[in-house]
Amino acid sequence: MDDWAKIRHLFSTGEHSKREIARLAGVSRGTVDRALAEDREPAYRRAPSGSSFDTFAADVRRLLAVTPTMPAATIAERVGWVGSESLFRAKVAEVRPDYAVPDPADRLVHLPGFQVQCDLWFPHEDLPLGDDQQAAPPVLVMTSTCSGFLQARMLPSRTTSDLLGGMWSLIEEAGAVPARLTWDNETGIGRGRLTDPAAAFAGTLGTQIKLLKARDPESKGGVERMNRFFRSRFMPGRVFASPDDFNTQLAAWLPVANARMSRSRRGRPGELVAADRAAMRALPPVAPEVVFRNSVRLPRDYYVRAFSNDYSVDPTMIGRLVDVTASLDTVAVHHDGILIAEHRRRWARQLTVTDPAHVTRAAVLRSQFQAQHRRRAPVAAVVELASLAHYDELFGVDPALDRSVVAAAPAVLAVAS
């Protein structure tokens, strides 16, 4: 290639003959002629000699004509291929476009403040939940499509109230509301249509929750890549003592993740997010409804249930209607708007959570109840006796005559004996 460039350069000056060019370049005269005849640099070209795939090509095409999406490994098994797997995959990839209809993906333009993609991912290892239980709770991930800014938080469950509570906590932390929140078909948010709490949440924020169609990964590819980023950059080598410890370590790591350089955006998400959030709308004046609610009449055992766990309540409220609310962090019980019990929410399941003060109060009430019943005096039964005179009058009996007969009866009996 160097000789070819040198020959063409010397010839372009017009100062040298072909013989002189051959002498200066140190090549033959024929090489000079061939170099000047080629407009492109010379390259070695070998005549095609065929491939072992050629004898299978017709059978491969017949299979692809019927099933264009058939995997290459399945085709190799059907046609009896025993050669190189990589060669066969490459050859099938060349043939497949003749039969498969392409699925083009449009280039998306992400405007500032328009969209935040949401998804759940689960740690590949269980972590302690307390009370000798372990599990891998869901982690809510929210990524702005314009700036690539990343937010995340581990949630106690994937129920509707917890998903909405997680979104609200991250939106409140950002201090701005995007025009659209994109979700896959998550049951707690909606499948085909939004759940009623999710629709109310979107209405309060003045935003849209967009449910994506199935098999449409391109529409939320940003957050999907962040899920892989979590697994490869955050999780390795970490040990977590509890979900709270997980969220603490995650909060400390997120600024590092948002300081990474994004080549596609030509900047760092932590720096680009300012312009992104400036295009979003402000937080609503009223916070959306994101807590679990239930109203029950407090039973004699003075416990209420929230997310499979039982929490104690002041036993003086037994028999009264109480309102149970559960957020991501606390479980509270109110009666007529007055707080009567509050517990830290437990991540483990099927627990009985008791406030010692409630047990003490129950013991006092039980003693008072028993003492009250012991002080009650016994009450004699009063039976009303009917007057027999009524029956004498009814049957025409003279009571005086009846008494004389009864008095004479012993003497008569004695004579008879």
pLDDT in tens, 10-30: 888 878 888 888 888 888 888
Instruction: Give how far the C-alpha of residue 26 lies from the chain's centroid of Cα atoms, to the nearest Å.
Output: 73
pLDDT digits (tens, 9 = 90+) for 105-120: 777 778 999 999 999 9
What's the pLDDT tens digit per position in 268-323? 999 999 999 999 999 999 999 999 999 999 999 999 999 999 999 999 999 999 99
pLDDT grade, residue 406 (50/70/90)?
very low
Domain at 115-278: CATH code: 3.30.420.10
Percent of the chain residues past pLDDT 70, beyond the cut = 86
pLDDT tens digits for 131-157? Answer: 899 999 999 999 999 999 999 999 999
Confidence of residue 6 (pLDDT cuts 50, 70, 90): confident
Q: Cα(52)–Cα(363) distance, rounded to whole angstroms?
A: 88
Give per-residue pLDDT as tens, 148-190: 999 999 999 999 999 999 999 999 999 999 999 999 888 999 9
Query: What was the pLDDT predicted at 182?
Result: 93
Give domain limits for the chain.
2-37, 54-98, 115-278, 292-374
What confidence score (pLDDT) does residue 380 get?
58
Say yes or no to pLDDT of 50 above 70: yes
User: In the prediction, which pLDDT does 44 show?
Assistant: 66
Pick from 194-203, 207-216, 396-405: least confident? 396-405
- Residues 133 and 163: their CA atoms lie apart, in Å, by 22
pTM listed for this prediction: 0.68
Place of tokens 């003492």: 371
